[in-house]
Amino acid sequence: MHDFIPRSYTEKIKRKLTAMPAVAILGPRQCGKTTLAQSIIKGMKHSIYLDLERRADINKLRDPEAFFNLNPGKLICLDEIQRVPGLFTELRSRIDRAGENGQFLILGSASPQLIKQTSESLAGRIAFIELTPFTLNEVAEVYSSEIMRNLWLRGGFPRSYLAEDDHSSFEWRQDFIRTFLERDIPQLGIKIPTPRLERFWRMCAHIHGRLLNRSGLGSSLGVSHHTINSYLEILEQTYLLRVLPPYHTNIKKRIVKSPKVLFRDSGLLHALLGIETHNDFLGHPVYGSSWEGFVIENVIAAHPDWKPHFYRSASGAEIDLIMEKGLKRIALEVKASTAPEVRRSFWTALKDLGITKAWIVAPVETMYPYKNGVNVIPPWQVSEVIR
């Protein structure tokens, strides 16, 4: 394993810093925001890093205006900025007075309050970049089936993926789940009983990759579907769940309108389901849907400017992932088998939507033709065909 894995976001962040006064890197805790930011500012002579979880660094900002005046022309990196929400007004004032790009690099764990504060206070002055845990293209310079299996099992959080063995990785994820529920959620100002949110999160693990039934979840928890919506929103805004929308089009078909629920990190999904090793995984009911979510998240992370959907008609025609950008549309069907087969419903869906570019993504070594112009493709090659 590597001690440090370069991130694909690095150059994008550097470009944004030359074009905007402030750049915000948002993402779940422990996904590598601090390591990435420190690697970017390391080579800059005029930069300062402040960790706002440290009392000593918070004290430096007792008088923010004086601190900023003492450090003119420097890139100031503010980590965990949601801890000092009053800073946003000061940042706007500083940005407007200096009138320069590349003044602030802001890191924050996603939260409704943080996104709202930055959007309102720094509108037109800030660029947002979402940092995910490690993706397949980041950890695999050269394809290795072992690397892919480890990333799928452990997920992409750096300390989980880089752990010494599967047991250590599993323990780290168990600790992450406990800390998120018992510390991070209360610190975001969210008042929900920990056992209830934990139960909801575990229920989501069991419906991963399936259609969302808010009423059913509400009945199981003894709460309304409105409350279920609020729980989903919390886990979405902290980048732990994805609610994948269905694809709507003008064709004369009855379309399924419920979204799908997907875990954004396969390792957390497996930890919540008690899957510690590959042996635990084989034969588990979540095996196929876990692979589907793993592939979908890697594809979406690599193509943030494309809009993701799934498609399912009332008659059963379906496609796991449709990626859309302007007039471009491609279809991806995800299969966990090394010898994948697709049903008639896949071909029907392609015909319904008039999609001519489609691939079947499977854990295979190389791309090869399937039929009707559709190829089977390994997940690390998807970026080569989405253009």
- With cut-offs at 50, 70 and 90, classify the pLDDT of residue 253: low
Q: Which letter does DSSP use for residue 63 in this model?
A: S
Mean model confidence pLDDT for the chain: 91
User: Does the pLDDT of residue 228 top 70, yes or no?
Assistant: yes
Q: Tens digit of pLDDT for each residue in 39-72?
A: 999 878 889 999 998 999 999 999 999 999 999 9
Task: Say what the pLDDT of residue 119 is.
Answer: 64
Neighbours of 190 (CB within 10 A): 17
Task: Say what the pLDDT of residue 348 is.
Answer: 94
Task: Say what the pLDDT of residue 314 is.
Answer: 85
All domains in the chain, ordered by first residue: 10-130 (3.40.50.300), 136-385 (no CATH)
Task: Say what the pLDDT of residue 117 is.
Answer: 63
Output 188 or 55, whichever has higher pLDDT.
55
Task: Say what the pLDDT of residue 6 is.
Answer: 85
User: Does the pLDDT of residue 1 top 50, yes or no?
Assistant: no
Output 184 or 256, whichever has higher pLDDT.
184
- With cut-offs at 50, 70 and 90, classify the pLDDT of residue 158: very high
- With cut-offs at 50, 70 and 90, classify the pLDDT of residue 86: confident
- Helix 10-19 / helix 33-41 crossing angle, nearest 10 deg: 60
Weakest mean pLDDT among 53-62, 166-175, 231-240, 243-252: 243-252
- With cut-offs at 50, 70 and 90, classify the pLDDT of residue 189: confident
Residue 387 in tokens: 């253009």
Residue 217 to residues 69, 221, 243, 310, 364, Cα–Cα distance (Å): 53, 6, 15, 21, 36
Of 292, 270, 50, 7, the closest CA to residue 158 belongs to 7
Q: Tens digit of pLDDT for each residue in 131-144?
A: 999 999 899 776 78
The residues, ordered by sequence, that sit 6+ positions from 116 with a Cβ below 8 Å of its Cβ are none
Neighbours of 357 (CB within 10 A): 15
Alpha helices in the chain, H assignment, sequence order: 10-19, 33-41, 55-60, 64-70, 87-98, 112-121, 136-139, 145-154, 158-161, 166-179, 185-187, 194-206, 214-221, 225-237, 266-272, 278-281, 287-302, 344-353, 382-385
Distance from C-alpha of 85 to C-alpha of 200, rounded to nearest angstrom: 29
Q: Which letter does DSSP use for residue 205 in this model?
A: H
pTM recorded for the entire structure: 0.92
